[in-house]
Amino acid sequence: MAGQTVNFKLNGEEIRAAAGWTIWQAARAAGVFIPTLCHHEALHPFGACRLCVVEVEKDGKKTLEAACSYPAAEGLSVETETPRVQKSRKMTAALLLARCPSVPLIRELAARLGVAEDSLPLKGRAEEACILCGRCVRVCREAIGKRAVSFAYRGPQRRVSAPFGEEAPDCIGCTACVFVCPTGAVKAVRQDNRLRLSPWQTELPLLSCSACGRSFAAEKVLRHLHGLQKASFDPETLCPVCRRKQVGEALEKVSKLGKAGSFPPGKEQKQFKH
């Protein structure tokens, strides 16, 4: 509940956390570093990467738990750097490094955790960048309300894919998956008035600004946004740059009219009700 707090021990020190926080959130607020790759503040806790494991003591029992999804609770005792925790994180980092040996973020994180580059035989391709964190899948479903991509297959063959490995009909070209991807595995390229998303093999036409002619957004995403606002869609729309320019010109005009005394008292405020 709002305003309530819980108290627990973090690395031997008593700390206070807001009710509903996870251990990871409480640790971050206390300035304690816990690595994570799958967690994102805009998404529900997932606990997939297992880099954020901590040792939790509850009712006399110690277990390794994912800090990003385990709720902070009264009376817990949490340790973030025990030998057991470090061993688990190092193994996870070594596996990620073996899968994605060329990803700078993975290399930096592995080095920070004390993992040598040759700790495990190379299992992935040099160009592999997907760590199966699920951020792209989750943001598509949780934030956008679509199911353009999902996990496919199991074991070593597991990957994120559009349905049947073909162009995703549910993709609206919002590029949220690109924004939340921690390793750069998901890419968006604009070329020839089209938006290409990889590795989804999805290509969408871009609308052109009715003022300047520049292509700026997929029609699907604009229709989606208008639908959320319950507003009619007008294909003759402006790009963000021209829209800001238009608003700026209108504000400048209103300001000049106001200074010239062209508005009756209170009239200028009414101009901005919409």
pLDDT at 263: 54
Residue/partner pairs of 263-271 with CB below 8 Å, 24 or more apart:
none
Give domain status of residue 235, yes or no. Answer: no
Domain boundary residue among 106, 131, 156? Answer: 131
What was the pLDDT predicted at 237?
A: 80
Distances (CA, A) of 274 to 240, 262, 269, 270, 271: 18, 20, 11, 9, 7
Looking at 131, 159, 184, which one is the last position of a domain?
131
Q: Which of 78, 109, 131 is the endpoint of a domain?
A: 131
Domain assignment present for 198: yes
74 and 161 share one domain: no
Q: Please indicate, yes or no, whether residues 86 and 184 belong to a single structural domain of this protein.
A: no
Q: 160 and 92: one domain?
A: no
pLDDT of 88 reads 97
Residue 233 lies in a domain: no
Kindly state whether residues 145 and 54 are assigned to the same domain.
Answer: no
* 121 and 171 fall within a common domain: no
Residues 195, 260: one domain?
A: no
Give the residue numbers spanning the domain of 177.
135-228
Q: What is the pLDDT along the chain (274 residues), one digit of tens a residue?
A: 456 999 999 999 999 999 999 999 999 999 999 999 999 999 999 989 999 999 999 989 999 999 999 999 999 999 999 999 999 999 999 999 999 999 999 999 999 999 988 777 777 677 899 999 999 999 999 999 999 999 999 888 899 999 888 888 899 999 999 999 999 999 999 888 899 999 988 999 998 888 888 888 888 888 888 777 776 767 668 888 888 888 888 888 777 766 666 555 555 444 444 3
8 within some domain: yes
Q: For position 273, what pLDDT does the model report?
A: 42
pLDDT given for residue 63 in this prediction: 97
Verify that 250 and 172 share a domain, yes or no. Answer: no
> What confidence score (pLDDT) does residue 216 get?
85
4 in a structural domain? yes
54 and 159 share one domain: no
| Contact predicate 109/90, CB 8 Å | no
Residues 8 and 121 in one domain: yes
Domain count along the chain: 3
pLDDT at residue 236 in the model: 67
Statement to judge: residues 194 and 256 lie in one domain: no
> What CA–CA distance (Å, rounded) separates 205 from 59?
58
| CATH number reported for the structural domain that contains residue 89 in this entry | 3.10.20.740
Residue 162 sits in the same domain as residue 107: no
Residues 221 and 116 in one domain: no
CATH of the domain at 174: 3.30.70
- CB within 8 Å of 127: residues ≥ 6 apart: 102
Determine the pLDDT at residue 268.
Answer: 47
Is residue 15 domain-resident?
A: yes
